[in-house]
Amino acid sequence: MAANGGVAGRLRHTLVDAPGSAGARMRARRWELLEQAFPDLATMSVLDLGGTVEWWRRAPVSPKDVTVLNLFEPGDSADPSLLPVTGDACRAREALAAAGAQTSYDLVVSNSLLEHVGGHAQRAALAREVHALAPRHWVQTPYRYFPLEPHWLFPGLQFMPMAARARLAARWPLAHSRPETPEAAMSEVQWTELVGIAELKAYFPGSAIHHERVAGLTKSLVAVGGGAR
């Protein structure tokens, strides 16, 4: 989805998307942490749940091969080492098998997907797929208790009543995209449910929980399983 245009769109780009922005610096730091956790990443077979092939084209490290599974738009690739698959990450093994892709990997990576799959039952299903598909994982998700809701860049949006969240999502100019109808706005907020530390630990017991911080506050959490300590 394209970001809003005008002054608000430019402001969001400056804060989140532009080279040198706070968002860009955090993404670069996340790559550094991923490489520290998995120093042999370049030799690995990787499954990305919820990502895009474009993200991997821009990656500072190219794994041996990457399969990208995304429900809507994994992207296109003519590179045999970068395979896009359209399918549900909560039923990843089924989707991969149907596409003729492998169903065993060295590492599963997932960035900002866990909060969008549709409630506890679906998050638990996603976690089961992660554990079944690889012995190692890197699962990042925004932290529920960071003051600024990251999708709309609005303070405390995640704590507001659902109807109020939907009304604000339909109008707030710093959102990634503006819903076309009130129904679409309601759907977007219903599909966005941030989680806390206890929940992430329950989905990924035994994993190390890394805190990505901004101004000393935890902004995102990463469950790291099987990585270097």
Residue-range domains of the chain with CATH: 6-225 (3.40.50.150)
pLDDT exceeds 60 at position 9: no
Closest CA to 35 of 91, 109, 93, 104: 109
Closest CA to 45 of 91, 96, 112, 117: 96
- Which amino acid, 147? P
pLDDT tens for each residue of 182-220? 999 999 999 999 999 999 999 999 999 999 999 999 999
Closest CA to 193 of 128, 142, 131, 148: 142
Closest CA to 123 of 68, 47, 202: 202
User: Any idea which residue has 């738009």 for tokens?
Assistant: 73
- Cβ proximity of 101 and 136 under 8 Å: no
- The model scores a pTM over 0.85: yes
β-strand 136-142 against 148-149: which pairing, if any?
A: unpaired
Cross-strand bridge partners of residue 223: 139, 209
- Residue 86 burial by Cβ neighbours in a 10 Å radius (0-12, 13-18, 19+): middle
**To which H or E segment does residue 126 belong?**
helix 120-133
Instruction: State the pLDDT at residue 178.
Output: 83
Report d(CA 51, CA 43) in Å as an integer: 20
The residue that leads in pLDDT, 29 or 120, is 120
pLDDT exceeds 60 at position 32: yes
Average pLDDT over the chain reads: 91
User: Any idea which residue has 């206890």 for tokens?
Assistant: 198
176-185 mean pLDDT? 89
Instruction: State the pLDDT at residue 2.
Output: 39
Report d(CA 20, CA 17) in Å as an integer: 9
The residue that leads in pLDDT, 228 or 59, is 59
Closest CA to 137 of 32, 186, 52, 210: 210
pLDDT tens for each residue of 122-172? 999 999 999 999 999 999 999 999 999 999 999 999 999 999 999 999 999
User: Any idea which residue has 């992660």 for tokens?
Assistant: 130
The SS3 assignment for 93 reads: helix
pLDDT tens for each residue of 110-124? 999 999 999 999 999
